[in-house]
Amino acid sequence: MKHTTGNFWGLVLSMALVVMLCSCKDSEKFQTITPDEAAEMMATESGYVIVDVRGKEEYDKGHIPGAINVPIDSLKQDIRNNEAIPELADKKKVYLIYCRSGRRSNEAAKLLSSFGYKHIYEFGGIIDWKGEIEAIKPAGE
């Protein structure tokens, strides 16, 4: 009888682990795509928002044309405090997210998807971007 009880609890623990793993996967409802796939989406689709989650200084030095700057630290603070982020108001819109190397964009994608954003595409870093980059010139130049 002792052996049967052990099998029962092993089965219960195994099922609990499966449920936990499935739940974690469901909370990350974003897609990781390549920079080339993001460029293809930008060329063939409309209605998306390109989000650069780097700091302002990094953004100003060079960003993808049309990208908005929502630094990851501001994003984390605003979204967790339930403060409105005007650039990200529509949770059903398509958001293409990048940073320098992919670490911050992945963090931002996880955060946004956990707060109910439906169409998040994380495409890594600008260091792998082959397309056009524009910079903001400081005042007086």
- What is the SS3 assignment for the chain? CHHHHHHHHHHHHHHHHHHHHHHHHHHCCEEECCHHHHHHHHHHCCCEEEEECCCHHHHHHCECCCCEECCHHHHHHHHHCCCCCHHHCCCCCEEEEEECCCHHHHHHHHHHHHCCCCEEEEEEEHHHCCCCCECCCCCCC
**Which of 99, 109, 112, 126 is the catalytic position?**
99
Residue 84: what pLDDT? 82
Cα–chain-centroid distance for residue 99?
10
pLDDT of 83 strictly over 60:
yes
pLDDT tens digits, 92-107: 999 999 999 999 999 9
Q: Where are the domains of the chain?
A: 28-128
pLDDT of 39 strictly over 90:
yes
Structure tokens at 101: 């190397």
Q: 84 with 49: CB under 8 angstroms?
A: no
What's the CATH code, domain 28-128? 3.40.250.10
Dihedral (CA of 70, 72, 94, 90) sign: negative
**pLDDT (average), residues 78-91:** 88
Active site (annotated) includes residue 99: yes
pLDDT of 112 strictly over 70:
yes
